Structure 1
Amino acid sequence: MLHLAVALDGPPRFDPGHFTELARLAEHGALDFVTLGDSFARPGPDALAVLSHVAPATRRIGLVPTVTTTHTEPGRVATALATLDWVSRGRAGWCVGVSATHAEAALFGRRPAAPTAALWQRAEEVAAAAARHWDGPAQDASPATAPRPPRPPQGRPVTVVDVTGTGQDGLRCAARHADVVLVRAPSAERAAALRTRVRHEATAYGRDPDDLRVLLSLVVDLGERESAREPGLLDAAPSLAAHGSYYSGGPVDLAGLLARWHDAGAVDGFHLAPIAPHRDLERIVNGTVALLQHRSLFRTFHPGGTLREHLGLPRPVGGRPAADRPVAPQRSAS
């Protein structure tokens, strides 16, 4: 099954109706989820709060804000995301973020920013703590002392990790904790190699690789043309280098590209980041997605009510084992 998601990012906006309108448009196209980026260095409203506002105005689309783990307490992360899952009736996810700059650390009166390895170690600790919080008390906990907060509707909100530029540290976090992994690649062959590597790493940590969805993140500029002069995937222009792979062309050619890469088994789907959110998202939904639907390559409606159902992911079983320890890898990560 082809999975499609879209980023709502763009210039800072403080009008909540802007994000609601975009999310509704994505929902009309039966996309799996929308994302909204965030960091302590970014101007603009809090992504998790924005999507909590969007939740009651939508019915099916998944809502995935970036949540920074570096300077945030795990209990706060878990509670806020559980709240989003309840408000949206099971459509919450989160993209694991880290704060790598000295300016962000200074906002909290902390020492200079930690090395990358330490940042991702902290991210793993927060992800693991959040999962324990959502799963409930250990099976050997005393009934008199064990807290009994209600589990989120999905059991656990969907965890997304973008491994672009993170090296082995981010890959390890994704392999151990992610439900969805975002990658960037200039070719189908490179994307397929990254997908294979992520699945192999997850297997080494004792996970079922079929419980992972690997999506290619793709910056999309549909411009004013219906067809690209040279359709296909291009290396990112210098101004877009931080965003990774870059597509410039028309919605018809984009549909062909997505279909070819998915049919080749390169990825499980795509996370599209429109250059101009209103213009390009409208063309993605009413052009690219409509064409994929017409060719029976993408669904015409959401298969269920939760984000996990959209992605074909199981609901985690609640109640932690008495000895709740991280699973050791079966081999040394390479």
Structure 2
Amino acid sequence: MTLHVAVALNGSSFDASRWVDQIRQADEARIDFATFDDTFGRSGPDAVLVASRVAPLTRSIGLVPVATTTHTEPFHLSTALATLDHVSHGRAGWQVRISADPAEAELLGRRAPLGVDDLISEAADAVEVVRRLWDSWQDDAIIKDVPTGRYIDRDRLHYIDFTGEHFTVKGPSIVPRPPQGQPVIAALAHAAQIWDRLDVDVYFTTPSDVDSAATIVRQIRAHGRTDKLVFADLVVFLAADQETAIRRRAATTSDAAVFAGTPEQLAGLIAGWEPSGISGIRLRPGDDAHDLTAITRDLIPLLRERGLFTPSAEPDLRTRLGLPVAVNRYEGAARA
């Protein structure tokens, strides 16, 4: 079994060419997907818009922007992400994020900050609403029936009628069902309250070594998430020799393990983590300009040579990651 490989892209530049250059490097290396970081409080472009900008210029890589549920209506999230899936021809995903930052709440002025438990509960409702809205159009809802002048078969659009603690959404969506049916949903999972309450497809975790990686995988499986993918995050500083890489790392700290060394040493570390049961590795370049190039040019060929990574030829992200086909929850009832 080979591992999936993802890269995390982060930056505040409004220069589109910068983002295009980076994503093309990852695309040409045939990395499975890239995530685009974002928060409300930072200076920089919206991650969903960045992913939409680079989508037509890439061929195979999955595009997974961060979008925060705390101050964003799930209806708007569903339409933006469905549009990204259409633009990318089935390569879209979504990394769910919550915000407990009072400064970010003040930027929007909607309400006082919620506690973490309430924010996670709200995020869980948002994920459910978004999933239902994606299903609110059947795949064959657009009929383009010229003789009758009907573009859409209204019987193949569905009200989701969601009523929860945080949202009441009737639907249907205003965007046709995404090509994947359900774009891939991910979340950074530092603790059990995330994998216990957020029903997503991919959990990004932050183990410190192979033993903690194996422990996290066991914990997630014990919570009934047996069909979910578990990725290990790793911040990387790469150089031709370890001493230079360590100097580049300097005093960098992170929620994830921080690696400083050569591409060969990193390939060895990833090989050591593979038996832990993780599904893949998400590499966070310590410096986008330097370390992303080292990942795509030097590391990926080593992983392929060692049988740790095999690029997929599948055209859509769900299939590439081995996730099941997304069955429309409303279609069977409509036929009945």
TM-score normalised to the size of structure 2?
0.83
| 1:278-289 equivalences in 2 (<5 Å) | 278-289=289-300
Amino acid at match of 2:236: V
Distance change (3 Å), C-alpha of 1:181 and 1:29:
same
Comparing 96-105 with 288-297, greater Cα deviation is found at: 288-297
Provide the aligned C-alpha RMSD in A.
2.5
- Counterpart CA distance in 2 for 1:26 and 1:44 is 21
**2:253 alignment partner, SS class:** helix
Match of 2:242 in 1: 228
Structure 1 pair 239–296 and aligned structure 2 pair: CA distance change class (3 A): closer
Q: 1:209-242: per-residue Cα shift (whole Å, max 9, x none)? A: 1x311111111111xx32436999xxx986423x
What amino acid does structure 2 have at the position aligned with 1:202?
G
Which one of the candidate residues 176, 185, 192 is aligned to 1:150?
176
Q: Could you list the per-position Cα deviations for residues 283-328 of structure 1 after superposition, in whole angstroms to 9, with x for gaps in the alignment? A: 11111110111223322x43211111221112210133899xxxxx
SS state at 1:271 partner: strand
1:262-273 equivalences under 5 Å are 262=274, 264-273=275-284
Q: In 1, are the aligned partners of 2:217 and 2:276 still within 8 Å (CA)?
A: no
Matched, 1:256 2:268: yes
The answer on whether the counterparts of 1:121 and 1:169 sit within 8 Å (CA) in structure 2 is: no
SS in structure 2 at match of 1:248: strand
- 1:163 & 1:41 partners in 2: Cα distance? 21
CA distance in 1, matches of 2:157, 2:272: 55
C-alpha distance 171-296 of structure 1, shift in aligned 2 (>3 A): closer
For residues 236-290 of structure 1, give each alpha carbon's deviation from its aligned partner in whole angstroms, at most 9, with x where no partner exists.
986423x32100111110011112211x134111101001112111111111110
Residue aligned with 2:309, SS: coil
What are the superposed Cα offsets for residues 126-178 of structure 1, whole Å, 9 maximum, x if unpaired?
0000011112269xxx93973585311111110011012xx34323234xx21
Question: Matched residues, percent identical?
Answer: 39
Listed as ranges, the gaps of 5+ residues in structure 2 are 139-153, 159-171
Q: What's the counterpart of residue 66 of structure 2?
A: 66
CA 1:237–1:189: 2 relative to 1, 3 Å: farther
Instruction: Point out the more displaced range, 69-78 or 309-318.
Output: 309-318
Asked if the contact 1:81/1:94 (under 8 Å) is kept, the reply is: yes
1:269 partner letter: G
Asked if structure 1 preserves the Cα contact closer than 8 Å seen for 2:192 and 2:220, the reply is: no
Equivalent residues, number: 301
What do residues 58-89 of structure 1 show as CA deviations (whole Å, max 9, x unaligned)?
Answer: 01000000000011111101110000000000
**Which has the higher Rg, Structure 1 or Structure 2?**
2
Bigger shift: residues 287-296 or 81-90 = 287-296
Structure 1, unpaired ranges of 5+: 204-208, 324-334
| In structure 2, distance between residues paired with 1:237 and 1:131 | 43
Distance change (3 Å), C-alpha of 1:21 and 1:173 = farther
CA gap of 1:231–1:240, structure 2 versus 1, over 3 A, is closer
When normalised by structure 1's length, the TM-score is 0.84
Q: Equivalents in 2 of 1:23, 1:170: separation in Å? A: 29
1:144 to 1:158, Cα distance in 2 relative to 1, 3 A: closer
Change over 3 Å in CA distance of 1:105–1:144 after alignment to 2: same
Deviation at 1:108, TM superposition (A): 1.7
